Structure 1
Amino acid sequence: MTKRTAHIISHTHWDREWYLPYEKHHVRLVELMDTLLDTLESDPGYRSFFLDGQTIILEDYLQVRPEYRSRLEKLIQEDRILIGPWYILQDAFLTSGEANIRNMQIGHEDANRWGKVSKIGYFPDTFGLFGQTPQLMQQAGIDNALFGRGVKPTGFNNEVGESSAYESSFSELIWEGPDGSRVLGILFANWYSNGNEVPVQAEAAREYWQRKLADAGKYASTPHLLFMNGCDHQPIQTDLAEAIRMAKAVEPDTEFIHSNFPDYLDAVRETADGRGLSVVQGELRSQRTDGWGTLVNTASSRVYLKQMNTLGQALLERSAEPLAAYGHLLGKDYPHHLFTYAWKLLMQNHPHDSICGCSVDEVHREMVTRFDKSRHVAETIVADTTAFIANAVDTSVFGSYGSDALPFVVHNTAGWTRSGAVTIELDAARIYFREGIGFGEMNRRMNELDISGRVLVDSEGLPVHCTVEDLGQLFGYDLPDDAFRQPYQCRRVRLTFQAESVPALGHASFAWVKADVKPQDAPAIAHSERVLDNGVLRAEVAEDGSFTLTDHRSGRVFSGLGVYENTGDIGNEYMFMEPKGTAPITTRGLAASVRVLANEPYRASLEIVHEWAIPASADELLEREQREIVFMQNRKSGRSQQLITLRLTTVLSLESGSGRLDITSSFDNQAKDHRVRMLFPTGLEATVHTADSIFEAAVRDTTPAKEWKNPSNAQHQQAFVDVSGAAADGGTAGLTVANIGLNEYEVLRDGSNTIAVTLLRSTGELGDWGYFPTPEAQCIGAQKVQLAVIPHSGDGAGEGAYAEAYQLQTPWTAVQTGVHSGKLQPVGAPLAWRGESLAFSAFKVSPVSGDVVARLYNLKREAGQLALQAPHSSSAAYKSSILEQDSGEELQLTDGGLQLPVGPAEIVTIGLRA
């Protein structure tokens, strides 16, 4: 029989920012690292330390202690400090799939510079885990995942609860992803601090180990018991070697080892075979708990952060990277260094206490600055690359309109061919200061410039409907690569029009020219002040501002959409809690004013305005209960009797030929302690629904497990949530609700399978292990959110509804250029692909191989087929992994194209070698 072994692993879980601002935690980190280096160098019995799985700690430490680099490097190379595989410990559900991959890539890149990457799938305190984690781990060469949440109840102050519905019989388990990938899962069943502060005195050590060994043995499937010696911001235990010697004395039948994760995992694997480990499948969202400690409502805490993050991710992965890859194929250097910098800035906002919006106010103020900084880098890459590509596009076709033709190039960086409304600002004329013309004369010329008689044409010479706004005279400047800045005065106009069928990842050319042609008449989309109809969809607004959506393709009708719901919230940044004895109020039956906001041939909009009286806040009892740290389930506070007006402005927009109705909601929030949602009753019969998650269209039960006690069953989403099922007439239908940065939804058990999307949640405290007031989490001030409704016939993946949802988050890009020849056709794309139910994820250049890579994934649990036409410069193709290395698994290119089977839920990365 194998002797019982206690594996003691030293670590500290380092939240960079949380209940203290970043720099206050930073100072404590420097002190901890100083002590760690001294201890490792002076005490050979202190074998090793796991640096929390995130390489950013090295950056943070050396920012203050650059003189200790060599000491740190020596200990890492001796395997006494284990680093990686991540750059930061990110939240799982609130960061995009590509952000998760960049986190792994940059973590590996940083760790490799120091020595060796720890192949440990480390998620100690992640607030649940997405179902595709096993596949991502396997593709990164990691065969394990260690985590604290998602399977067993975890509540206030990270207290681990008991549950008869514990999803695994042991703390060791097999975790299987939707594609069939499996990893060895290790649940921190007694939390990642169960070996913290080991006593040195005999009596205390005897009591400690009797209790700790029994607790760990309760769940362990093998004689190898894991004890995590550390906790949040925990200073290292400098007398641990002595404490281990005492442990051996008081428990002689147990072998005590100052261990590390590789040794511990090897020992578990050797003894776990045949022990009947449970197989846990898919997402780990604490589904089999009472639902009070899942922390899911961090998805709606400080919604503005989620919106900024979604836009920042989209700008990098859906604009800057595809454009830079296109430019690379044309000979421009790919700015790996700038992308790493921009991604690192963005990812510094991705730890769970940061992006989840569950820290003190100072933390989230600094996050806004980081979002801005990352965005500024990405915008610069986009501007430089689009100008480079535009210079390579042949726009000479527009030369026939004269020397004053104003060409521009529109880029569709989405992974699908699409049409849509595009806006660009053009300089109709410029006068540079270097020309020596006085300001008075410059101003006169710009103001008197004749911009009449112009029309927008495409590269075929066909006129295009557009709206022209004269922005007047403006100041601008160029920043040449080889000269000092060049200021100018210009006359600027703003054009808005519909770009038709721009190829995926490609471009199309247009010009605003003087010509005596007009676009053909087009049918109006706004049929009255309450009706939009483009021949595909019809939206009709009722007296209370709700709307009915009719899908002309199928005849399906969805009624009562767009109602607002308001409830009190006496919870905190982590969890929503509706006051007892209260009920939601809605705008159902509340009269709204409606008017036509715009009615262009390419897009029409209706504006709906509500004046809604809601409670101003919680009652006065809430503040006392917060200060007394009354757990939210026991709070008795209610809603204030004082009312305040919430003015809601909703804009419904429908584009020509589109199967998507866009919704923008704006309001000035002056209320506190409440939640605002928008409701979309589907009227469909279904027991499950689908939500966009990380590389997965996750299928979830609408009714929670029997253990669930929380009245709310809110959940995470990325780009969309969908209900598909039986319609009243016996057929099938589906309704997809897409969003930009609205990560929380709930499918209500109201008989209509209503999709409720959270637009705002206002709370006043952090809510963990003490009282930390967070007045800025009330989100007082102007708010603006964007959604879209996409009806379909029941197969959202196959019919393109999910692809449409992804495109909502992908911005159009347009850049002015001149009339010139070029090696690119006026309309074109660097590659093309086909694949039903596949989603396009990335088009970039690998930082490892230097090859162009394309990444897609299968939205369905059944095999698919990918057809891809490679760039003209590609000489070979190979199947890679998320680390984007050249795997040597060659794919056959025939006439520049390839055919590749794609497994169920598979994530496919293809390298394209020049």
Structure 2
Amino acid sequence: HRLLLKAWKLVLQNQAHDSIYGSGIDPVHDENEARFLQAIEIASNVAYEAARVVAERGGFQAPPNAVARIFVYNPLNIVRSDVATVIADVPEEAYEVVDERGRRAPVQIVKVFEEWGRRVRLSFIAHEVPPLGYKVFYLVPAKGESEVMVDEGTRIENEFFVVEADAERGGELRIEDKETGMRLEGVGVIVDEGDAGDEYNYSPPRERDVKVISTSFKARIKRIRGPVFSKLLIEYVLEIPARLEGQRRSSEKAGIPVVVEVTLYRGVRRVDIRVELENRAEDHRLRVRIPTGLRVDRSYADSHFYVIERRIEPPKGEGWVEQPPTTHPQLFWVCVTDGVRGVTVANRGLPEYEVRDENGAVIYLTLLRAVGWLSRGDLQTRRGHAGPPIPTPKAQCKRHFTFEYSLILHEKGWLESKSYIEARAFALPFLTMQLEARDGERSSHSIISVKPVELVVTALKKAEDSGWLVLRFYNISGEKVEGEVTLGFKAREVWLANLNEEPLERLEVEEGSIRVSVAPHKIVTLMLSPLPG
């Protein structure tokens, strides 16, 4: 608990006004990044050690040929089948996993590590992992060879989607939904624009903004097809202006190497995309373009305890100091829907999006902005300075980046289709761990279950001032919901509390369950006193 508190305080130190949204001098953000890295390391190690304690007792009667136990923890409050990836200290051979019911699932090797001894990264589909709980699988030798084919094909598919990449147009994607017939064209195109703004605001160059699109370049494509996933590896070099010269983009070019991975997993209704690039240019903005073909006038974005609806057309902003923004914040996802069909784009750490009407709604995800000033006074999008005019060369972001997002095509809206659940599943992957292959006492267990799915769990933690547990969730819908919380342990008391963790009302626990009525968009905090053991 003390270590988690330390990590939390490091994160809180980065919440200062000019720190959290990146409008400080370079040394401030050097310290921000160091704090975030420390917090990540502390939290990761605490999670690993806690999972290891739980996992030691997990399992069932081990198959005689088992080479490892694989512990899979699900951080969502739904029963979930999704891809699980684990680094295992086992030989590079063909494997399967088996669960307590004897069901087998294929395993596919993702990568072989030569460092610190030969280890492999394995992927498999972990079926029916309980909510806020774990399930144990045993890794066993496969009965046959795990057939993985590598070639120069440009098309992959699973039960739900067909994805094709156009090598002549920078690997531009065409996606077809097999169930609904919905098609997306021109997906995943990277758009580069000049950025004459500062750390506060984007602003295009006044004189000549050369827009560069990845479809202008040819790509090399490699296809990998196996029993768990199929993948397209798309590589090209994006040639863009090297910098601004005054208010013009330079004629000198900088080559940005780009690698795009497009992955379809068996049984998973998403198109997962990973972009790696080395930014070697200055004064520009990189975004990825996702045309939906939907005629809509608004978007829906995940935010804090709420889904916010925004109109695509901004207000006129007459007399405003700043032009009304067209880019907006998001947490895990953004969705556009016409009520019949929809496209939800999930992300891991990409907080800015824009939706434009370009003969249909087009979602733009911001990958990065590269600027050289804390504040400039010559922007087109804002009058005057927003802060001191201090050079910030590190804000040019000349380094290696990895970006991850996922496409979820669905019928109806985000709530009816429950695309928000799939988006959270992408953003919050399974936690996995390899253990020795021996018998265990319990094959799976749910710590806490919260139903229905409209109740989204945001925290399960130790209380600040006691040994009690705090469970927090909110109603993502606009309708009243009758909720049921099922405990995977015995509790002495359960109280309804406020956000300050102050008890308000004692709740009845009947056969391990608590019932609570949750008003539209309401946040609920429960405090639970577990019995020892």
Q: Does 1:903 align with 2:516?
A: no
Q: Which residue of 1 aligns with 2:338?
A: 725
2:529 alignment counterpart: 913
Match of 1:602 in 2: 228
Q: Which amino acid aligns with 2:268?
A: S
- Tell whether the 8 Å contact from 1:425 to 1:492 is kept in structure 2 after alignment: yes
Name the CA distance, whole Å, in 2 between partners of 1:452 and 1:604: 19
- Residue 383 of structure 2 is matched in structure 1 by none
State whether structure 2 residue 48 is matched by structure 1 residue 422.
Answer: no
Q: 2:17 aligns with which of 352, 359, 363?
A: 352
Between the aligned partners of 2:298 and 2:94, the Cα distance in structure 1 is 56
Q: Deviations over 1:344-390 (max 9, x none)?
A: 01221121211211111111112222122212221221222111101
Give how far 1:406 is off: 2.0
Alpha-carbon distance change, 840 to 664 in structure 1, aligned in 2, over 3 angstroms? same
Match of 2:368 in 1: 760
* Counterpart residue number, 1:464: 105
| Cα distance change of structure 1 residues 740 and 454 upon mapping to structure 2, 3 Å threshold | closer
Q: Cα distance 1:385–1:884, how it changes in 2: closer, same or farther (>3 A)?
A: same
Deviation at 1:342, TM superposition (A): 0.9
**Residue 254 of structure 2, aligned match among 641, 644, 648:** 644
Summarize the Cα distance change of 1:667–1:688 in structure 2 as closer, same or farther, 3 Å threshold.
Answer: same
In the alignment, what sits opposite 1:814? 432
**Residue identity (%):** 28
Distance 1:807 1:854 in 2: 19
Match of 1:496 among 118, 123, 137: 123
Give the drift of 1:777: 0.3
Residues 563 and 586 of structure 1 are in contact (CA less than 8 Å); yes or no, is this contact kept in structure 2? no
Between the aligned partners of 2:352 and 2:8, the Cα distance in structure 1 is 24
Cα distance, 1:453–1:373 mapped onto 2, change above 3 Å: closer
Aligned-pair CA distance for 1:577: 0.5
Secondary structure at 2:139's aligned position in 1? Answer: strand
Cα distance in 1 for residues equivalent to 2:242 and 2:14 = 31
Report the CA distance between 1:425 and its aligned residue: 2.6
Whether the 8 Å CA contact 2:231–2:262 is kept in 1: the answer is yes
Deviation of 1:885 (Å): 2.8
Report the counterpart of residue 281 of structure 1 in structure 2.
Answer: none
User: SS of 1:362's equivalent?
Assistant: helix
Distance 1:585 1:844 in 2: 47
Alpha-carbon distance, 1:472 to partner:
5.8
Q: TM-score, normalised by structure 1?
A: 0.53
**Post-superposition offset of 1:852:** 2.2
Q: 1:559 to 1:711 in 2, by over 3 A?
A: farther
Alignment of 1:493-642 (within 5 A): 493-513=120-140, 517-518=143-144, 529-542=153-166, 543-544=168-169, 545-583=171-209, 585-587=211-213, 589-619=215-245, 621=246, 637-642=247-252
CA deviations 1:284-304 (Å, max 9, x no partner) are: xxxxxxxxxxxxxxxxxxxxx
For the residues of structure 2 that align with 1:828 and 1:360, how far apart are their CA atoms?
A: 48
The residue type paired with residue 329 of structure 2 is: H
Instruction: Summarize the Cα distance change of 1:712–1:881 in structure 2 as closer, same or farther, 3 Å threshold.
Output: closer
Structure 2: distance between partners of 1:763 and 1:380 = 35
Q: Is the 8 A contact 1:798 1:837 kept in 2?
A: no
Shift of 1:840: 2.0
Shift of 1:859: 1.8
Structure 1 residues 621-673: Cα deviation after superposition (integer angstroms, max 9, x where no partner): 2xxxxxxxxxxxxxxx1211222222322111111111111111111111110
Q: Distance in 2 between matches of 1:694 and 1:341?
A: 23
In the TM superposition, 1:50-449 aligns within 5 A as 335=1, 337-393=2-58, 395-398=59-62, 400-401=63-64, 405-428=67-90
The 3 A distance-change label for structure 1 pair 587 and 699 is same
CA distance in 1, matches of 2:98, 2:478: 44
- Which among 464, 467, 471 is matched to residue 850 of structure 1? 467
Shift of 1:467: 2.7
Shift of 1:581: 4.3
Change (3 A) 1:472 1:591: closer
Question: Does 2:485 align with 1:868?
Answer: yes
Q: Match for 1:803: what amino acid? A: I
* CA gap 1:525/1:862 in 2 versus in 1, 3 angstroms: farther
Question: In proportion to residue count, which structure has more helix?
Answer: 1
**Are residue 703 (structure 1) and residue 313 (structure 2) matched?**
yes
Higher relative contact order (CA 8 A, sep 6+): 2
Contact 1:592 1:608 in 2 (8 A): no
- In structure 2, the CA distance between the partners of 1:911 and 1:411, relative to structure 1 (3 Å rule), is same
SS state at 1:754 partner: strand
With over 3 angstroms needed to count, the CA separation of the structure-2 counterparts of 1:874 and 1:552, relative to structure 1, is: farther
Normalising by the residue count of structure 2, what TM-score does the alignment of the two structures yield? 0.89
Long gaps (5+) in structure 2: 376-385
Between structure 1 and structure 2, the one with the greater Rg is 1
Instruction: After the TM superposition, list the runs of 4 or more consecutive aligned residues in structure 1 that deviate by more than 4 angstroms.
Output: 450-455, 468-473, 524-528, 819-823
Structure 1 CA distance for aligned equivalents of residues 149 and 358 of structure 2: 34
Identify if the C-alpha distance between structure 1 residues 581 and 748 changes in structure 2 by more than 3 Å, giving closer, same or farther.
farther
Structure with the higher fraction of residues in strand conformation: 2
- Give SS of 1:474's match: coil
Aligned residue for 2:378? none
**Distance (Å, rounded) in 2 between the aligned partners of 1:586 and 1:617:** 13
